[in-house]
Structure 1
Amino acid sequence: MGARRLGREIALQLLYSRDYAAGEASALMEMVFDEAEPGTAAGRAFSDELVRGVLENREAIDAQIAEKSKNWTISRMARVDLNILRLAVYELLYRDDIPKNVTINEAIEVAKKFGTEESPAFINGILDEVASALPDKEPLAD
């Protein structure tokens, strides 16, 4: 598994844990990393960036999700799906180094592993709506 996929999966577990356990982000992060499969330093660093980015921008991220969710309120969404959406919307809005299609595909793959049978289609639908309202990202120069 690539470092970024591992980072996304660990970030999801941490955000999910925060929904149910009051605790310091760094303490929860250490617990999740201790229980996760061994990963690279790059995966850990990427996970840390994602979690901090989502937490710092959660209000704006949730507003995007709520705006693009037809017939669903955030409070009705499964916590796993919501946190996958939060991670992906963070990437779409704030990470210029990750192409939109990569973000969406990665979110769908994480949803297949951690969500329900309906999760990938649900997440794809909302992320397509968010992404379509954003300009294309410029490819990074070598």
Structure 2
Amino acid sequence: MGLRREARELALQILYAIDTNPSATLRETLQNFREGQEVATRVRDFAEGLVLGVQEKRKDIDAAIKARSKNWTLARMPRVDLNVMRVAVYELMYRTDIPKKVTINEAIEIVRRYGDKDSPAFVNGILDEIEACAKTEESSEE
């Protein structure tokens, strides 16, 4: 497994922990993961960068997901699916150094591993719509 895949999976675990224990601060959650897991510094740094980015832009990220989720509220979505999408949407919207197709493929592979049998299609559909919207916005800016 590549370093970035490992980091994305770690970011998923951290975001999931944040969702399931909202009384803990972001700092406490990150510290618990630092102490509880031995990972390469590059993996930890990339994962924490994703988590911090998602948390900083969470309102916009969740709005983008919600706008493309027909008949689904964020509260009804499985936590794994939602947090995989949050990481991917953060990358799609704010990380121009990562190819969009790589982001989507990574999200699908991760949700295939941690989600249920319907998760890959659900996540792929929403991320494809967000990516298509981003392409439209980019071409209108040119």
In 2: Cα distance, 1:34 partner to 1:118 partner:
34
In 2: Cα distance, 1:103 partner to 1:59 partner:
20
Structure 1 or 2: more helix by fraction: 2
Q: Which residue of 2 aligns with 1:54?
A: 54
- Secondary structure of the 1:135 match is helix
**1:69 lines up with 2:48 in the alignment:** no
- 1:33 deviation in Å? 3.9
Q: Which residue of 2 aligns with 1:102?
A: 102
Unaligned runs of 5+ in 2: none
Q: Which residue of 1 aligns with 2:14?
A: 14
Q: Which residue of 2 aligns with 1:31?
A: 32
Q: Which residue of 2 aligns with 1:140?
A: none
**1:3 lines up with 2:3 in the alignment:** yes
- 1:41 deviation in Å? 1.2
Q: Which residue of 1 aligns with 2:89?
A: 89
**TM-score, normalised relative to structure 1:** 0.90
Unaligned runs of 5+ in 1: 138-142
- Aligned 8 A contact 1:85 1:123 in 2: yes
Give the aligned residue type for 1:84. V
- 1:113 deviation in Å? 1.2
In 2: Cα distance, 1:27 partner to 1:2 partner:
27
Aligned-pair Cα RMSD in Å: 1.5
- 1:82 deviation in Å? 0.5
Point out 4+ residue stretches in structure 1 off by more than 6 angstroms. none
In 2: Cα distance, 1:44 partner to 1:116 partner:
26
Describe the superposition over 1:67-100 as per-residue Cα deviations: whole angstroms up to 9, x where unpaired.
1111211111011111111110000000000111
- Aligned 8 A contact 1:14 1:29 in 2: yes
- 1:30 deviation in Å? 2.7
Give the aligned residue type for 2:122. F
Aligned residues: 136
Identity of aligned residues (%): 49
**TM-score, normalised relative to structure 2:** 0.90
- 1:31 deviation in Å? 2.1
Give the aligned residue type for 1:85. M
